[in-house]
Amino acid sequence: MDEVPQSVRITLDVPRESGLLRVRHGALVPTKAAVIDVEILRRLRSWFAAEDGFTVILTSPI
């Protein structure tokens, strides 16, 4: 992953570390939890610490 830009690495780290993506047969695939909207929000909220302001990140303009 040395040739992958840092912004892409960070973008892929969040879903992988929160359990929404996993590597299977050399490719990133969604987990069963990634299909359920409530589960996605629960996992992302728990991945971000309270002081990071999950609601602020979620509602801020891009």
> Looking at the predicted structure, is the pLDDT value of residue 51 above 60?
no
DSSP code, position 21: E
Quote the pTM value: 0.55
- The two tokens of residue 11 are 């973008």
pLDDT at 25: 92
Distance CA 35, CA 49 (A): 23
DSSP code, position 3: T
> Looking at the predicted structure, is the pLDDT value of residue 4 above 80?
no
Give per-residue pLDDT as tens, 7-50. 556 567 777 888 888 889 988 898 888 888 888 888 877 777 65
pLDDT at 52: 60
